[in-house]
Amino acid sequence: MLGFQPYETFQLLIESGGVDRTNTLLVAACDAYARREKPTSAEREQFEALVQRLFSTAAPTARAKAAATLGRSEHLSQMLEELVLENAGDDLPDYLLNAPAMSEATMLKVIAKGEAVACASLARRSDLSNVALAKLFQMNSRRVYRALATNMAIVPRGPYLSALARSAQMDYQVAWSLAARDDFDCALLAPAFFDLNESDRIKVIKAFGERRTPEAPIKKTIEQITVATDELTRALMKLFAENRRPEVTRLLHQITGLDEVRCGQIAHDVSGAALFVILRAFGATAYEGLKVLIHATSHDDDKSPVLTEFARMFDTVTPDSMAFLMSSWRGDVNLLELTKPEYRPFADGRRPAERTERNPVLNEALAALSRIGTRRAG
């Protein structure tokens, strides 16, 4: 049957030996089966009968070792998969993740038990059935959602997209994983903006570029502000230049309606990404906004590349879209509206590079930033 011993010989060895011999035979039989190319139906049935008997009498360590070995086979029946599940012990997560093949019935059996560690390992598989995947998304487990967020075989769309976006609002690790994916619309990470690193915050802002957004409730508040944009930017520039960030916090609280804790985060964000959102939402241009950002951002390194990035975004990101992003921080909007066809990125078919070429004000700002970088380098 297995290439080195006939089935009858195994039976005789079992009957004439003790537990030690049973342990040896179990491990040897599983190793031989795992190495074998696709067995016949008769061979599989013989093996199933043999290992059922051996697993029932072998010592726990031998059962775990045999289960780990058997789990490497590509030709396990559902009954053999169940034997592996029952006897794998601490190696179960590794089996659930790395098994060459797994039946849907076994996947559903694992999910039905509701054990988070096991289900998280299963959630990382690339061959999940539609039914198993739907069951995993129904689980209320951070560990499982963190695994689903990293699984590149799962296309984030429809209800799966909605579930991942909601999870990102509650779990920063899910947000980090989704921000690293090229197939996820980072605009949906807006509520998790302050949990992201600087480069991922830029990704969120860029995701709002060249797209229409639903009207934000805060837009009415912005329109009612009596302070002109140039007066606002001058006030912010003065406060940042004098490092009066607590006063920046109070000013932002007054004009945005965001809570003071959030405004404090924005005022002390030396990356400038959060402040960019505020400036652009209130209609600041690249010329006005960059003067504020130069004073607000960290001067530990040469920031000209980052400021150049902001300059381009002043051209590609609209005030309305930043008002919508700011509204998401207040919990006033449903981010999932962005998944509707009319709000997809680049809806008008124009690329940021095309607009940059046509904007002389932006080109002038970029040239000024280039001169700043050159002076610092010198």
Place of tokens 């689903």: 148
Q: What is residue 160's predicted lDDT score, i.e. its pLDDT?
A: 95
Report yes or no: 291 and 233 within 8 Å, Cβ to Cβ: yes
Q: Is the pLDDT assigned to residue 5 strictly greater than 70? A: no
Q: Which own/partner pairs from 357-363 qualify as long-range (CB within 8 Å, at least 24 positions apart)?
A: 359/315, 361/285, 361/286, 361/287, 362/286, 362/311, 362/312, 362/314, 362/315
Least confident of 227-231, 233-237, 240-244: 227-231
Q: Is the pLDDT assigned to residue 7 strictly greater than 60? A: no
The confidence band for 305, taking pLDDT boundaries of 50, 70 and 90, is: confident
Of these ranges, 43-52, 195-204, 294-303, the one predicted with the greatest mean pLDDT is 195-204
Q: What is residue 307's predicted lDDT score, i.e. its pLDDT?
A: 85
The confidence band for 373, taking pLDDT boundaries of 50, 70 and 90, is: very low
Closest of 337, 331, 349 to residue 188, by C-alpha: 337
> Mean of the pLDDT values across residues 348-352?
46
Q: What is residue 222's predicted lDDT score, i.e. its pLDDT?
A: 82
Quick one: what percent of the chain has pLDDT higher than 70?
Answer: 84
The confidence band for 313, taking pLDDT boundaries of 50, 70 and 90, is: very high
Q: What is residue 37's predicted lDDT score, i.e. its pLDDT?
A: 85
Q: What is residue 88's predicted lDDT score, i.e. its pLDDT?
A: 92
First to last CA, the chain: 78
Q: Is the pLDDT assigned to residue 117 strictly greater than 50? A: yes
> Mean of the pLDDT values across residues 24-46?
89
Task: Please provide the average confidence, as pLDDT, over all residues in the chain.
Answer: 86
- For residue range 124-178, what is the model confidence (pLDDT) as tens digits? 999 999 999 999 999 999 999 999 999 999 999 999 999 999 999 999 999 999 9
Query: Could you tell me which residues come within 8 angstroms of residue 98 by beta carbon, excluding any fewer than 6 positions away?
Result: 71
Quick one: what percent of the chain has pLDDT higher than 90?
Answer: 61
Q: What is residue 362's predicted lDDT score, i.e. its pLDDT?
A: 56
The confidence band for 378, taking pLDDT boundaries of 50, 70 and 90, is: very low
d(CA 14, CA 26): 10
The confidence band for 300, taking pLDDT boundaries of 50, 70 and 90, is: low
Does an H or E element contain 225, and which? none
Q: Which own/partner pairs from 42-45 qualify as long-range (CB within 8 Å, at least 24 positions apart)?
A: 43/1, 43/2, 44/75, 44/77, 44/80
The confidence band for 355, taking pLDDT boundaries of 50, 70 and 90, is: very low
Q: Is the pLDDT assigned to residue 375 strictly greater than 90? A: no
Q: For residue 36, count CB atoms less than 10 angstroms from its CB and return exposed for 0-12, middle for 13-18, buried for 19 or more.
A: middle
Q: What is residue 281's predicted lDDT score, i.e. its pLDDT?
A: 93
Q: Is the pLDDT assigned to residue 182 strictly greater than 80? A: yes
CB atoms within 10 A of CB 38: 9
Q: Is the pLDDT assigned to residue 377 strictly greater than 50? A: no
Q: Is the pLDDT assigned to residue 278 strictly greater than 70? A: yes
pTM of the predicted model over 0.75:
yes
> Mean of the pLDDT values across residues 255-261?
91
| Residue 97 in tokens | 């993740």
> Mean of the pLDDT values across residues 287-311?
82
Q: What is residue 36's predicted lDDT score, i.e. its pLDDT?
A: 85
> Mean of the pLDDT values across residues 88-102?
94
